[in-house]
Amino acid sequence: MNLCLSFPTLTLNDETCNSWLPNQIAGRQRSDRGCPTPYACWFPLSTLPTTDGIPIPPGVDIQVVDPEAVANGDRMMLFIQLGAVEPSVADVRDSILAAYNSPRRRRDVDVAESRAHLHYLYLTHQPGQAQNDLEGIYIYSHESRFSSPRKMDFYLPGDDPYGPESLLGPTEDAPGLPVPFVHPTYLDDTPQLPTSTHPSWERWLHSSVGIRERLRLVSSSRQSLSDAWVYVAQHRPEKLLGLLEHLWEHEGSRVSSNEDLTEKIQSVSANKLCTRGSAISEYEWTLDETWLPFPHLQREYLRFMEEYEFFPFLNLDETISAEQLSAKWMFLHTDFSVGKDHDTTFLLDILLWINLANPDASAVSRPQRLLDLYIAIDAKCLGALDQQAERKQVRDAFRDPPGVFVPGHDKHDACWADPRDCRWEAPPAMRTNTSLKHVYAETFGANQMALVSRFFRETLSIPKASWTDLTKELKHLRAHKCEDFDRILDLYQYLNHMTLSPFTDELREQFETESLVFIHTDEESGWYKPSECLWSSTADIQGMVTLNDDYEELKDFFVDTLGVKTLTLQMVYDELLQLSPQQTADDVKRTVWSFNALLQTEPNQLDPERLRQAHVFPIRYPSGKRALGSADTDFAIVDREDLAARFRGRIKLLDYPLEEIRRLRPFLEWANLERRYLSACVKEIPSFSGGPSRRISTPNRDLKRKAHALLRIAATFNSPRYRADPAGLYRLFRAVQVLETNGISMVLTISQDGRAVNVDEAVGSMFIPPDGFTIYVPMDKMEQDFCFGSPLPTSLADWLMRDPVTSQIHGKIDNALVTALAMLLAVDVAVVDRVLDYQGIVPLTVAEEGMEVLDEDDMTEEDQMADDTEDTEEVSDEDETTDGDEEDADEADDQPHLVSRQVIARRSHMACRPAMPIPSHSAPVMPLQAHPPAEDVQYRVLLDRVVAAARKAEFPSRGAFGMSDILSALPGDEIARFDGPDAVNRFQSSSQFERDKKIGAAGELYVFEVLSGLDPPLPGWGRENWQSTMRRYVTIHPDYADMDAWSGRETADITYNDTESELTAMLINGGYLDADEWQDARPMYYIEVKSTTGPRETPFYMSKGQYKRVSSAPGFESPVYMIMRVSEIDSRPCMAVYLDPEKMRLERRLVFTAQTWSVIPGRGA
């Protein structure tokens, strides 16, 4: 040893040492202690290089004998003798670990020493050792990074499909995620298993050193998901579910207990995690929106979806049974809300993906499947424990994206709609809301409506269209300048059928503030406020439009609901006062006609003087010029064409033809212009030349022969002369002479602007000297006929109604007086009493004195040529009396006492039935326990009269002669005012509008009763033929109290399908239809009833729609339109029939006024 120590260059492998050492070592004292170390240094008392045969690794803080030094057994013994010992495993392990605890020493550990350290630690591993024994160990990565596995994840390379090398390595589509693998040195020449129970090298690296056995799901901080998870989700999504399942057993609890981590995994993109159909790239969905591919769910998918339509079933890359799938993947449902049940949510998701696959709803194939899907969803809701919550879920799902499939309809493509934008029942053409019932019934048929109706109405809570929906629709149409009249009309009709009374004020406000009334005209259409509208008008009112032409069947809606005004007298009055200079005479005339018509129906307290000062009178000047002027202009009014012909071109005249002047009498009289009638302001100044005369050659025209009849007429019309001296008046009548002569001439004169205009007439109509006992009439037959037909009755009436003292006339002369006198002068003496009785002239108790009755053949030539001084025929003093009159004969000799037997109401009438006397006192009425409103009582009385009259009346024949025809033939004839300011004892109502309706209903009742009483009766006739909405007013009459209001569509007031030709036969017999053309015809009759309290000649209104219907000439197969005109409805109802109104218009028997659609019966109508 000393030798070895003396030669430092001598190595332990030197042959000299190996051979010599064994022989020399014995006996030497151990004073020279020392052992060689592996670093060729000699240290005293080193440890042996192994423990239990396991080499002690280098780099530990222990002096060990160089392993080569003890490779020789003798030398080993030498070292043992020298005091070398084998250290404990624990010391060595501690020394190894100590090397890593010091940063300085740790830097000196290279990969080989690290490997040796791990080998020793592995080989000396004992079962039950704490896993944290090796916490401080450092190792090298494959990139030679030196770190602790506790601080940095190290992985072993391998081919595990979910290992880091497979998942995180770069690919064509993924950049790769660098992670530290252990240095390859650690895996070279790995230690052998010490025992069969010892863990393998890899297992020990995982369990003891901390090498990661698998990728992390949760980061080491446990606050986020690992980088590996994020990378795989982004770049290797096809492996994400497998990785999640692979790691879930080990880290699932960490995720489940952390709400944030759970939500992050739920929200991971699932676009590449699913199969079934073609994915929709533009739509993102997440894991919690996917479904486990259970077989029963896939069957439902195929039921409702096409195979090419995507549904988010997870792609699990394996075919396993439902039980296996549930066992392996149920955690996805439990922890991440992945769907698995065939429930409402599943069906809603199917709807969602159908929607996403077909954003253009027109592309949806098999629309029936959507109907089936809706029904299936509804069934789920019905079966739910909490139906309200289930339906709320459905409603929410149908809103985004819109889930209501709207099939294509009415030139509109199919679309998806939000339930909030739908209405179950609504006008079909709505734009702001979809009318589902209409569309679905058209597409799928009515037989499927019951089930789907419940789904839409109850589950989706889709209501019917409300009034607010319809006003919103109207606003939309107005904003988009829509002029589709039919579409807008449909909305108004729908509103009209709704119950709006609780919302009337709000509805009116909407229509007013938003201008929601649409008016369609040929010139320009527009939207208006209700306050800018009138229901109807025969005049153009500034700033106002009329509705009746466009909306004739919606009168109740516009007038009652929206408060649209009907034309009032005040409106027209104001319009006339405000006429602009630009308005033409025709414009003014139209307005005046309206004013004239309303004067007859509305009581008023308007000031005529203000209107007299307005330029509302069209005037024709002598020069031919026409201009509007005021009443300050001195003009005359043509009420006689004979006078107009003589003065036309010489004076100023009101520019209306005679027939219109007659109709304008209410206006002219209200304006106090009666004195401007030519008949009133033209003075006829007759003169007698004194030529030859003779007694009247026609005995019937000898007035003394009709003295008693004249007295009856005077009594009936309450003549002042009769009241003053009845007997004297009688004697005067018996003394009067009527002489014929050719010596009568006349001057017509009128004064205008202080200038007299005269017209000379060669032949006068009559001459009465101041004594009044002689009347000269023309000898010419035609002139004489004219005299007795008009001037003489008029003059007689004038004379009778003058006060004998003052010569003044109080009030107006009743035209009926003139008519009665004209009839008296026209008829034979033999029938005078019958005619007067028929006309209701009062009989008198005074007996008619006898007189000689001469025929014309009995008259001598001397009689015929008597001169004008011929004495008056002596009047006999003998009275002819009946037996019953003998008691009064003595009184009659001195002063005949005339007693009126009864008072007869005087009114013109048609010849539809005899005039009926109206007693001066009605029968007493029993008091009622309940007192109905006065208006109802009046109306009931009116209806009683109407029913009574109709049940006595006969259907009128064409061409019947009536009093109205006589009236229209006489000059000065006028239409009696029937509801003007002077009318009394007429039926009135709370409003003009209400009155018009009730008068109209009364007229319809009259016609219905007449037709109901025909003999033979009309087959199939009944109340269902009365199809007017106004018939509800007559239910106040007990005979009609049980009649329901008409709720159907109104095509005419009364309709009748003449299936057995009974009505047609009656019209043929009455002269209305030609037998050759209409025999056995069976047309449909449409009857419009026009009612008035005035005479037949009163104009009546006809809507544009009615005019269009009745203007069609009737044909054998076409519907027949009739107008039935009921006049004098509140006194003596009478009916005229106008069949084929268009023909009557062409023949001027009905006069239609352009634009205003008013109709005037003409002559012969």
- By residue count, the chain amounts to 1165
Residue owning tokens 């003549």: 719
Separation between Cα atoms, residue 115 and residue 132, nearest integer Å? 19
Q: C-alpha distances in angstroms, 483 versus 174, 435, 518, 525?
A: 62, 21, 8, 7
Separation between Cα atoms, residue 356 and residue 283, nearest integer Å? 8
Which one, of 39, 110, 51, lies nearest residue 84 by Cα?
51
Q: C-alpha distances in angstroms, 938 versus 907, 935, 943?
A: 21, 5, 9
Separation between Cα atoms, residue 722 and residue 716, nearest integer Å? 10
Separation between Cα atoms, residue 1063 and residue 1120, nearest integer Å? 11
Cβ proximity of 1136 and 1159 under 8 Å:
no
Bridge partners (DSSP) of residue 627 are 619
User: What is residue 996's predicted lDDT score, i.e. its pLDDT?
Assistant: 82
Cβ proximity of 550 and 520 under 8 Å:
yes
Separation between Cα atoms, residue 875 and residue 891, nearest integer Å? 19
Separation between Cα atoms, residue 1127 and residue 1095, nearest integer Å? 5
User: What is residue 1061's predicted lDDT score, i.e. its pLDDT?
Assistant: 92
User: What is residue 1149's predicted lDDT score, i.e. its pLDDT?
Assistant: 61
User: What is residue 412's predicted lDDT score, i.e. its pLDDT?
Assistant: 85
Percent helix / strand / coil, the chain, rounded to 5: 45, 10, 45
Going by their DSSP bridges, the two strands 737-741 and 774-778 should be labelled as: parallel
Bridge partners (DSSP) of residue 545 are 533
Concatenating the DSSP letter of every residue in 83-136 gives T-BPPPHHHHHHHHHHHHHSHHHHHT--HHHHHHHHHHHHHT--TT--GGGGTT
CA atoms within 13 A on the CB side of 291: 25
Separation between Cα atoms, residue 344 and residue 647, nearest integer Å? 96
Residue type, 255: V
Burial 1004-1016 (b: 16+ CB within 10 A, else e): bbbbbbbbbeeee
Query: CB-based contacts of 1159: which residues, under 8 Å, 6+ apart?
Result: 1090, 1099, 1100, 1101, 1102, 1123, 1141, 1150, 1151, 1152, 1153
Q: CB neighbours (10 Å) of residue 867?
A: 12
Cis geometry, peptide bond prior to residue 1016 (ω within 30 degrees of 0): yes
pTM above 0.85, yes or no: no
Concatenating the DSSP letter of every residue in 477-489 gives HHHTT---HHHHH
Separation between Cα atoms, residue 98 and residue 555, nearest integer Å? 108
Q: CB neighbours (10 Å) of residue 1070?
A: 17
User: What is residue 931's predicted lDDT score, i.e. its pLDDT?
Assistant: 40
Separation between Cα atoms, residue 436 and residue 407, nearest integer Å? 9
Helix ranges restricted to H, 269-343: 295-304, 322-336
Which one, of 1090, 1110, 1093, lies nearest residue 1101 by Cα?
1090
Separation between Cα atoms, residue 980 and residue 601, nearest integer Å? 6
138: its two tokens: 């450092």
Helices (H) and strands (E) in the chain — how many of each? Answer: 45, 32
The pLDDT averaged over each successive group of 10 residues in the chain (1165 residues) is 51 52 45 50 68 89 82 82 86 91 89 95 87 88 94 94 93 92 95 92 93 94 93 94 95 94 95 77 88 95 93 88 92 96 97 94 94 96 95 96 92 92 92 92 87 93 96 96 92 94 94 94 85 81 84 93 89 88 86 88 89 95 94 95 92 95 94 93 86 89 93 95 93 92 90 92 75 84 91 92 90 91 93 92 72 40 39 35 36 34 31 34 33 72 93 80 35 40 48 80 96 93 94 94 87 93 92 89 93 81 67 63 91 87 66 52 54
14: its two tokens: 């030197």
The one-character DSSP state at 746 is E
Which one, of 753, 950, 743, 1021, lies nearest residue 867 by Cα?
743
Separation between Cα atoms, residue 765 and residue 787, nearest integer Å? 5
Contacts of the segment 811-818: beta carbons below 8 A, 24+ positions apart = 814/717, 814/906, 815/908, 815/967, 815/970, 815/972, 815/973, 815/974, 815/976, 816/717, 816/906, 816/907, 816/908, 817/713, 817/717, 818/793, 818/794, 818/970, 818/972
Concatenating the DSSP letter of every residue in 1020-1045 gives T-SGGGB--GGGGGGGGSGGGTTPPP
